[in-house]
Amino acid sequence: MGRPEIVWEQCYSVLSKDILFTHRRSLQCLELHLSDEEIMNMTLSKIEDKLQANGVLDDIQDPIIMDELNFDLQALKIYLTDNLAKMNRDQKIAFETIIHAVDNNAEGFFFVYGYGGTGKTYLYNTLSDVIRSNRGIVLNVASNGIASLLLPNGRTAHSRFKIPLDLNEDFVCCIKQVSDEELEEISKFSEWLLSIGNGLAGDSTDGESEVQIDEQILIANADNSFDNMVNFVYRNLLSNLNNMTFFKDRSILGPTLEVINEVNVTIMDRLEGEEKLYLSSDTLCVEEGNLESDLDTLTLDILNAINCSGLPPYKLTLKVGILVMLLCNIDQSNGLCNGTRLQVRRLGSHIIECVTLIGDNVGQVVIIPRMNMIPNNQALPFRFQRRQFPIIVSFAMTNNKSKGQTLSTVGLYLPRSVFIHGQLYVALSRVKSKIGLRVLIQKSDYNQQIKL
């Protein structure tokens, strides 16, 4: 084809004619509107899928390679110059060691170790920029969705390498200058965190350890102690609902899903606006080997009552302006993956309109549809499917969900003992200093110690 652009201009209107109709039908939203640019991009994507399915593009391009080579080199060099100037000594040592191996085409495996908030992600991003600015290819991979969002063009290992989620033995597969006083305070805080992470903090008797909490970060146990924690993390919440940067790096953390649900409901009740209730559609997955009598005993009430990690509830109550978190991967290239935090802008009957709060796509408006989700929970003796919006309210999140994030303000809510040292370390290490941390131990035998 001599002049493909002429063919495109002549055929575009015909090729794109049913794009909007198809998208409205798939999302079950007749009022959905798409911009001309969105329709054009969807049309091109459909054409690419057809060509690849028929092997036309196999010898022309690899989608992963083309995606990696599709960076603005000039912008990368600007970011690189700025990032290199801000590196500390340890980051420079790691950077130069790894880049030397890359430049000399030497094989190597490098393990970068550091406490939470010491700039490991900053180092990874800088390494990616320098290699890509020289037209090299970098495959940024993380163990979970929220960590992959912090890396440019990052993906989870399961997505990139098609690793099965249910594994068994048969499967193979920016830095500012601080004063000496601040530096000493950060150093003490880091040493305390490390002692917790290594299981050295506190006395251990009968398998239990008690960790002493500094009075400066401890919220006194009183009638208004919970309010004090919420006000510390989300100060002037109502006046900041339209400020996206306000929510970007702050959260309340808790040990279990039950605790987190209680916190989220309490905070949402304080917001103005009308609640909208979404009920899920739960169905049992009929599989070979299931007895008909067993299927009869699993009523809808039983399925509706199931509430486990990674699954939205049967009754999902939302308000405009609240924070929510995605529970599955929808569009990883645009930052919509498991763990992404969003803010609700509009509540429709068949779709929910949100705005992205983290990653490289902050401020991007996204549409969340209902999806079919099957929980991967070994504790359940049966499999069932829940059709619901794949989100949960997220003013608070579990300690495990916060992995990989560096936050400025954290409230750690502990109405009961923490299970292990590692879980406590994950929560406390989300901040760089104790200035942005408060801990609330709320129980009848209150003291300044956390039992592990």
Q: What angle do CA 232, 233, 236 make, to 5 degrees?
A: 75
Q: How far is CA 357 from the centre of its chain?
A: 10
The pTM assigned to this predicted structure is 0.59
Better-scored residue on pLDDT, 215 or 403: 215
Mean pLDDT on 322-338: 84
Question: What element of type H or E holds 345?
Answer: strand 341-347
Reading the block at residue 356, the tokens are: 């992205």
Q: How far is CA 82 from the centre of its chain?
A: 26
Q: What angle do CA 44, 47, 53 make, to 5 degrees?
A: 140
**C-beta separation of 404 from 144 below 8 A:** yes
Mean pLDDT on 294-317: 83
Burial of 291 (0-12, 13-18, 19+ CB in 10 A): exposed
pLDDT digits (tens, 9 = 90+) for 168-194: 555 555 335 567 777 788 788 888 887
Task: Look over the chain and give the mean of its residue pLDDT values, rounded to a whole number.
Answer: 79
Highest mean pLDDT pick, 78-82, 153-157, 388-392: 388-392
d(Cα 266, Cα 312) in Å, to the nearest integer?
Answer: 18
- Out of 92-96, 277-281, 350-354, 414-418, pick the least confident: 414-418
Burial of 415 (0-12, 13-18, 19+ CB in 10 A): middle
Per-residue confidence (pLDDT) for residue 171, from 0 to 100? 55
Per-residue confidence (pLDDT) for residue 319, from 0 to 100? 93
Would you say residue 160 has pLDDT above 80? no
Would you say residue 102 has pLDDT above 90? no
Per-residue confidence (pLDDT) for residue 444, from 0 to 100? 45
The DSSP annotation for 187-216 comes to: HHHHHHHHHHHTT-SSEEETTEEEEE--TT
Would you say residue 47 has pLDDT above 70? yes
Other C-beta atoms closer than 10 Å to the C-beta of 446 total 13
Per-residue confidence (pLDDT) for residue 200, from 0 to 100? 66
Q: How far is CA 136 from CA 58, 77, 223, in A?
A: 21, 13, 58
Per-residue confidence (pLDDT) for residue 174, from 0 to 100? 38
**C-beta separation of 354 from 342 below 8 A:** yes
Mean pLDDT on 215-241: 88
